[in-house]
Amino acid sequence: MMFDEKKQKTARTLSKRATSFLWYQMFIDVLKKLPQMDQAKIDMLKTCEDYYCFNKQQLSKIEQFRTSYTINEVIRWFTLDSFVYRLL
């Protein structure tokens, strides 16, 4: 047999992982380059507050986001276990 099927599966898996990694990197780059729009942020936070109205922990994180978020922290907010991460 010319091609070993087990090795081919490994190559496909690696390829999927590499693709996912590259997509994630490009996604983060796009997020960093998006202009900050105050009204969009206000609308998003209001929607999140309505959704999490009975979840004190998430409401606290929403308030923390409202008062401390900067464009330099976009990766941190999208990787924390919080309402921002759950939006994705």
Residue type, 14: L
Least confident range from 12-16, 23-27, 43-47, 60-64: namely 12-16
- The residues near 48 (Cβ < 8 Å, ≥ 6 apart) are 58, 62, 83, 87
pTM of the model: 0.54
Same domain, residue pair 15 and 25: yes
Where helices occur in 1-88 by DSSP H, the ranges are 5-33, 38-51, 56-68, 74-79, 83-87
Q: Tell me how many domains the chain contains.
A: 2
Same domain, residue pair 85 and 60: yes
Same domain, residue pair 60 and 83: yes
Same domain, residue pair 75 and 42: yes
The average confidence (pLDDT) of the chain is 78
Same domain, residue pair 41 and 53: yes
What residues make up the domain containing 61?
Answer: 36-88
Asked if residue 77 lies in contact with residue 84, where contact means CB atoms within 8 angstroms, the answer is yes
Considering the chain, what percentage of its residues have pLDDT values greater than 70? Answer: 78
Question: Given a cut of 80, is residue 37 above it in pLDDT?
Answer: no
Same domain, residue pair 82 and 58: yes
Residue pLDDT, tens place only, 39-65: 788 888 999 999 999 999 999 999 999
Asked if residue 83 lies in contact with residue 62, where contact means CB atoms within 8 angstroms, the answer is yes
Same domain, residue pair 28 and 41: no
pLDDT band for 79, please (50, 70, 90 cuts).
confident
What is each CA distance from 48 to 16, 22, 63, 77, 87, in whole angstroms?
Answer: 32, 29, 11, 14, 9
